[in-house]
Amino acid sequence: MRTIIEPFRIKSVERLRKTTPEQREAFLQAAGYNLFKLHADDILIDLLTDSGTSAMSTDQWAAMMRGDESYAGSPSFYRFESAVKELTGFKHVIPTHQGRAAERILFSILCRPSDIVPNNTHFDTTRANIEANGATALDLPLPAASDTQARMPFKGNLDVEALERLIEREGAERIPLVMVTVTNNSGGGQPVSMANLKAVRAVTQKHGIPLYLDACRFAENSWFIKRDEPGFEKYTPRQIAQQMFALADGCTFSAKKDAFANIGGFLCSNNSRLAELETRLLILTEGYPTYGGLAGRDLEAIAVGLGEVLDPDYLEYRIASTAYLGRHIADHGVPIVEPPGGHAIYIDAGRMLPHIPRSQFPGQTLAIELYRHAGVRSVEIGSVMFGNHAQHELLRLAIPRRVYTQSHIDYLVEAILEVNERRNELRGIEIVTEPPMLRHFTAEFRPLSG
C-alpha cells in the first residue's frame, strides 16, 4: 500500500469547538492581537508548539498509574534511568522538570564570562542560559541555511570549517563545550547528518572540547538519517540514535518533544566529577536526584515514550505528515522554508507578503489572519520575537505529535491556500505596548488600515 496512515487508533477524544470569524475577531481584539493571549479553547487547531502537546498512548497512561511517588529511590526513577541509559549509553542521568532546567545546570557549571559556546543554531533557552552566565552563544549554521528556498538534505548541519576557524582564532580554552541541536529547531527543524556529527566530533576531540547534543528531537533526526543518508537505510531508528549519542560526551533533553511526555527532561554525561557538581545544583532547585522536579508518574511516561518514538511506522508517518502539509502549500505558491523539516512547517511570511515591511510584522500579520480565517493558531518567528536580530520573517506551524489526523492537515492546507489567495489585501500591524523583554508573549498590536 502506498498510503501512509496514522499508525494508531483513537480511544479517547477531546472536543474541538468551532467558532465564527466574528467571534474570532472579538477574541483577537480582547487579546491585543497576540495569539499567546488567546484562550486555548477558542482555538480549533493549535500549532503554537509541538512541545508538551503530544497525545500519550495507552501504555504511557498505564505506566503512569504505577508511578511511585517515593521521595528517594522510586522504582519509577530506575525504570526511567534504565530507559535513558539503554538509549543514550551515557553513564550519568539527571532528571529535570524540562529541557531548560538541564541547560541551566550544565551551563552554570561549565560557562565562564568571555567563554563561547558554538551550536548549529541555539534554541532561545540555550542561548539565554549561556548568556545568563556571561558567555557568548554562537550560531554556526551552514551558509546555505540562510536561503530559505535552498533545497538540500541535512540543512541543519553545523559549519565544521567555521568551527575550526573559531577554535584557531579564540583558542580551545575559551570553548567549554560545543553543542549540536538535533533536529535544528531554530533553523527550520532541519536534520543533522551522521557525517556532520562525526566531523564535529573529530574536531572537538582533537582540541579536547566536550561535545553535547541538544537532543529534543533525536528520533525525528534519526529517521531523516535512515531515509536520506547513504549507508544508513539498513539500521533501525534506535541503532541510528545510539550511534548519534555515542559520538557525544553528554546531552540535554526536553522530554516534551520526542518522549511524548507533557512535562520533563534530563541531563546526561559521562564525566563523573561533572555529574557530581550537577547533582548538587539539581538538589538546590529541582529536587532529589531520583526525581529532579518530576513526579514518579512523569518519569514512567518518559520511559515508555522513549521506546515508542523509535517505532519506524510512527516516524515514517510523522515525517510524511509534516512534508505533506509543506508540499501541498509550497507547491501551490506559498513560500516555506525548504525542504520541510521534522516537527514544523515554516512559512516565509516576508516573501509571501512583500508589501508589508518588517516594521509592520508580516509574520504576526499572517498569524492573526490565519486565526481569524480558520481558527488556527501558529507562532511568529521574526521581528516580534527577535526584534532587530531576526534573520527572516517566519510563521511556524508546529505539529503536536499523534494529535491531529489527515483531515485536520487537509483543513490546514485549505485555510492557508485561501489566505494566500488574498495575500495582497492583507495589511500590517503596529505595536501598541512594548514590553522590554520577551515581547512575543506579552506585546499588544493594532491592525493598520489602508
Provide the binding-site residues for ligand PLP, judged by CB under 6 A.
51, 98-100, 123, 125-126, 181, 185, 214, 216, 254, 256, 265
Angle at 2 between CA 231 and CA 409, to 5 degrees: 100
**Which SS3 state, helix, strand or coil, does residue 122 take?**
coil
Which CB sits closer to ligand PLP, 51 or 74?
Answer: 51
Q: Minimum CB separation from ligand PLP for residue 360, in Å?
A: 27
**Smallest separation (angstroms) from ligand PLP to the CB of 252:** 7
Q: Are 91 and 245 in contact (CB under 8 A)?
A: no
Q: How far is the CB of 222 from ligand PLP (least distance, A)?
A: 15
| All residues at 6 or more sequence positions from 294 whose CB lies less than 8 Å from its CB, including other chains | 95, 96, 97, 263, 264, 287, 302
DSSP conformation letters of 101-113: HHHHHHHHHH--T
H-state helical runs in 134-254: 160-170, 194-206, 218-228, 237-246
Of 119 and 290, CB closest to ligand PLP = 119
Kindly state the smallest distance separating residue 10's Cβ from ligand PLP, in Å. Answer: 26
Q: How far is the CB of 393 from ligand PLP (least distance, A)?
A: 20
E runs forming strands in 129-216:
136-139, 178-181, 211-214
Please say whether the beta carbons of 28 and 371 come within 8 A: yes
Question: What's CA 298's distance to the chain center, in Å?
Answer: 20
The packing angle between helices 218-228 and 312-330, to 10°, is: 80
Cβ 5 to ligand PLP shortest distance, Å: 27
Query: Min. distance of Cβ 385 from ligand PLP in angstroms?
Result: 13
User: Of 254 and 365, which has the nearer Cβ to ligand PLP?
Assistant: 254
Q: Which is nearer to ligand PLP, 28 or 337 (CB)?
A: 337
Angle formed by the axes of helices 160-170 and 194-206, nearest 10°: 10
Element (H, E) at 285: helix 272-285
Residue closer to ligand PLP (CB basis): 84 or 353: 84
Rounded-to-integer distance, Cα 337 and Cα 437, Å:
27
What's the chain's Rg over C-alpha atoms?
22
Residue 48 CB, nearest distance to ligand PLP (Å)? 11
The Cα–Cα gap between 391 and 396 comes to 14
Nearer to ligand PLP, 342 or 375 (CB): 342
Measured from the CB atom, is 123 or 346 closer to ligand PLP?
A: 123
- Between 185 and 269, name the residue whose CB sits nearer to ligand PLP: 185
In terms of CB distance, is 187 or 362 closer to ligand PLP? 187
Query: d(Cα 428, Cα 85) in Å, to the nearest integer?
Result: 50
Shortest Å distance, C-beta 9 to ligand PLP = 28
**In the complex, what is the shortest distance from the CB of residue 110 to ligand PLP, in angstroms, rounded to a whole number?**
16
Distance CA 326, CA 337 (A): 9
- Min dist CB 397 to ligand PLP, Å, is 15
Distance between CA atoms of residues 196 and 159, nearest Å: 9
Residue 184 is given by DSSP the state B
Name the residue nearer to ligand PLP (CB basis): 101 or 356.
101
Three-state SS for 76? helix
Phi and psi at 93, nearest 5°, equal -125, 120
Q: Which residue is nearest to ligand PLP (CB)?
A: 99
Which one, 68 or 124, has the nearer CB to ligand PLP?
124
